[in-house]
Chains A and B, each alone.
Chain A
Amino acid sequence: GESVGLHLPTLSVQEGDNSIINCAYSNSASDYFIWYKQESGKGPQFIIDIRSNMDKRQGQRVTVLLNKTVKHLSLQIAATQPGDSAVYFCAENPYRNKLIFGAGTRLAVHP
């Protein structure tokens, strides 16, 4: 989930398990949402996006779920692999073309 402190929340999973990373967004006017993955020492990379007229979108091993009623976004990663270890950010777009990023969640995958 989101963090307001200096330390990122961490989700620890076993290799092969499914991971669910949650995000609460703040603006009910947001109509576009993106998940980014940031590996150590690198810039964030796009994973998957979803528009507000959808509640679910699937990619390769990833699924994003959107619940507009409670302003909640989640990223599900199937069969988590060591290469999935990273910090994951959700981002919302309440003002045209100006994304607002969450604080991030660290995913740690253990063998």
Chain B
Amino acid sequence: DADVTQTPRNRITKTGKRIMLECSQTKGHDRMYWYRQDPGLGLRLIYYSFDVKDINKGEISDGYSVSRQAQAKFSLSLESAIPNQTALYFCATEGHPPGELFFGEGSRLTVL
């Protein structure tokens, strides 16, 4: 079983719909991240959380929100999806000492 699990793996939705991407981890890590990947742009940080009570915006947080329901769960929401949010989204965890990130398999979102 994967240490970092993302659901759904693929989702097609329409403009204006609310979408939630979920991430759960079995690594026991406090730090969790949500990244967005677009062709030619690498991975860009949306939000990150260093523990359940700590949520921080990344470089491209506009249009997104997150919830850290427990140490093991970190969900990403698009309140009103728009086509330019079509991308591949990755959740990642980080342990101690900080450094290496452990990524999920990705959630491919298409907004029509």
Measured CB to CB, the residues of A under 8 A from B are 3-8, 32, 34, 36, 41-46, 49, 89, 96-104
Contact = CB atoms under 8 A, between A and B. Distances in A.
Contact of B90 (A6, A32, A44): A44
Interface of B: 4, 31, 35, 39-45, 48, 50, 58, 90, 92, 94, 98-106
Please report whether the interface of chain B is mostly helix, strand, loop or mixed according to DSSP: strand
Contact of A42 (B39, B100, B106): B106
Please report whether the interface of chain A is mostly helix, strand, loop or mixed according to DSSP: loop
Contacts of B48: 98
A99 B101 contact: yes
12 contacts: A4-B40, A6-B39, A8-B39, A36-B101, A41-B106, A43-B103, A43-B104, A43-B106, A89-B43, A101-B43, A103-B41, A103-B42
Contacts of A36: 101
Contacts of B105: 41-43
A104 B42 contact: yes
A97 B31 contact: yes
Contacts of B101: 34, 36, 44, 46, 99
Most buried by B among A32, A36, A96: A36
B99 A49 contact: yes
A45 B42 contact: no
Given A4-B40, A97-B50, A98-B48, 12 more contacts: A34-B99, A42-B106, A43-B103, A43-B105, A44-B43, A44-B101, A44-B103, A89-B42, A89-B43, A98-B45, A101-B35, A103-B40
